[in-house]
Structures are given as structure tokens and as C-alpha cells.
Amino acid sequence: MNNTAFFLGKGGVGKTTLSGAFALSLAREGRKVLVASLDPAHNLGDILKTKLSGQPVTIEPNLDALEVDLAYWVNKYLDESRAQMKANYAYNTAFNLDSFFNIMKYSPGTEEYAVLWAIEDIHCRLGPLYDIVVFDTPPTALSLRFLSLPVISGLWVRELRQLREKILSKRQTVARINPESPIAASCVDKDDDKVYGQLKNISQRLSGLEYLFSKESFISVIVNPDQLSVDEALRIQEELSRLEIPISAICINKKGISDMVWGQHPSLDSYPQFDFDFTRDGISSREDLMAVGAEDLAAHFLTRTGKK
């Protein structure tokens, strides 16, 4: 299944406009499309002229949209862990749990994880209901962090699993030699060890997301005809190449915004290029969004993903 598109780029280059125009073009070609905004500062609803929520809202036939509520995902994830801890721990061990979890809301990395689990939910739960899912992403820094999380966290989880396997193997040896030992009473088998099971579960989820990003996604990087957005696109290219996530297209948005002579950077020149003119009158309706002209990009996506 290769039905997911991401639009990345510097803040203000037109990620929301192009993801909206791209989704609308595909929907009007008869594909069932969901466009989801991952940006905490949502404006997908503004551009589609519809109030959006965390659940899909129908914009027009074949096009649904949603705005991921990061606070909801942070709370959901922390509430589930808190409930599990309360169920598994002795009362006195989990005494001040609420204060701990209230602070964890602000822990670095929590928001990026919330984005990841939201993408996983959309991909696994909602993805099968649509032909194509389009993600409008937050500006580069947050996007690159959540794209790299499956790889980085995957390394940690792999090491932790290996250490856990070593512990379980040594516990087994103790249990064989000395069944009366207190260690023999603890869990000795991988299938019964809940910590190992949880590590395996996290590892599988992270691998699934890594596969989604690197093998199943159509990644478009958006630039404007200015040096700053191109410099940022180069940093995105470098980071994605490190993560082995291929770029599928470069979109040059707001062409004609200035008379300055501008040429594409040679490093970005090898990808398929799509030009979008600067819309002087702004976007005030979905017809204006269609007028952006994402049909060629949509056709390239359909050809590339074998859906044409």
C-alpha cells in the first residue's frame, strides 16, 4: 500500500495550500482522499473553509479532512500509561503518580511522539477507508524530529531488548540450577515477560512507521524562489537521506512573487519539479484552491504510486 503523501518545507512556503490543492485535485479525479493537518498551528480548516476536528469531516464528495489534536494524543497516551501503572503497581509504589504524569506532559519529545501515534492511528485505522491520505506537516524542525523518531528510538529499543534477553537468559540459568532462588520465582521466559513484550510491541510499531516513511510515502518538499527556503530544503534533503527517506518531488511555490533572477539549486534539480504561481488575490474558496493547479503533481503521484 503506497497511498500516503507528506508535504514538508520551511514555515510559510505554502505546505497547507499545496496539500489542500493536491488533495482536492485527487478528490475531483474520483479518488477518496483524507487530508490531515499535523501542524499544532492548524490552518487547514481555514483554507478549506470548514471547521475541522480530530475526526474526519466531509469537505465535499470524496474529500474528508481532519486536524490532529496533539493535546488529545498527549493526554490519551499519558492516561493509558497512568491507568496501566495504577493497575500493575502496589498502591504505595504508585503513590504520587498523578503529579508525575502531569509534569510528563511537558517533557521534551512528548509532542513529537503524540504526532507519531496520531500518524499511526490515521494510517492504520482511517487509511483503509481512503484511497489516499495526505499529511500537511508542521514546519521543518518538528517534522524532521517525528520523521527521525522511529529510527532513533528503534535503536534504543533494540538495545534494551537485547539486554532484556540477556537478563531473562541468566534468570533461566539460575532457575535451572537453584529453583529455590527468589530470582527463579520471577519471569524467566520471553513470552511471559511483560517488559520484553512491551519492548517488542514498541519495536513493531516503530518499524511499521519507519517502513511507512521510507517505503510507502510520497514526500514532497516545498520551496519558494528564495534562498532561505532553498537552504532549509537542502537541510531537509540531507536529513531525509540520512534516514533513507526518498524525496519524490520538489514543489516551487509562489513563483513570480518577485522579479529576482532565481535558479533551482543543483542538489534539488534531480527530483521531479512542479511550479506553482503566486496567487495574488489569495485563497478565499475551494475553487481558488483548485486554481493553484496541483493536477500535474497529482498525476505524477498517481503514476509514481501505480494508481493511474
Partner 1 sequence: MSRRIGQLIKAAIRVVLQVNRDNATDLLEFEVRELENIFSLLVLGGFAGLPSPPSPIAIEILPFMEKELLVLIARTDLAQDPIGVLSGMMDIG
- Interface residues with partner 1 (CB under 8 A)? 77-78, 81, 84-85, 87-90, 93, 104, 107-110, 113, 149, 152-153, 156-157, 159-160, 163-164, 166-167, 170-171, 173-174, 177-178, 180-181, 183, 186, 194-195, 197-199, 202
Backbone angles phi, psi at 108, to 5 degrees: -60, 135
Our CB check for partner 1 shows the closer of 11 and 197 to be 197
Nearest approach, Cβ of 36 to partner 1 (angstroms)? Answer: 21
Our CB check for partner 1 shows the closer of 57 and 167 to be 167
Q: CB neighbours (10 Å) of residue 173?
A: 12
Nearest approach, Cβ of 12 to partner 1 (angstroms)? Answer: 29
Q: CB neighbours (10 Å) of residue 308?
A: 11
Our CB check for partner 1 shows the closer of 96 and 306 to be 96
- Contact status, residue 272 vs residue 250, Cβ threshold 8 Å: yes
Nearest approach, Cβ of 196 to partner 1 (angstroms)? Answer: 9
Determine the Cα–Cα distance for residues 275 and 268; give it in Å rounded to an integer: 14
Nearest approach, Cβ of 27 to partner 1 (angstroms)? Answer: 34
Nearest approach, Cβ of 172 to partner 1 (angstroms)? Answer: 10
Our CB check for partner 1 shows the closer of 100 and 278 to be 100
Nearest approach, Cβ of 147 to partner 1 (angstroms)? Answer: 14
Our CB check for partner 1 shows the closer of 160 and 302 to be 160
Q: CB neighbours (10 Å) of residue 183?
A: 14
What is the distance between the terminal CA atoms of the chain, rounded to a whole angstrom? 14
Our CB check for partner 1 shows the closer of 108 and 282 to be 108
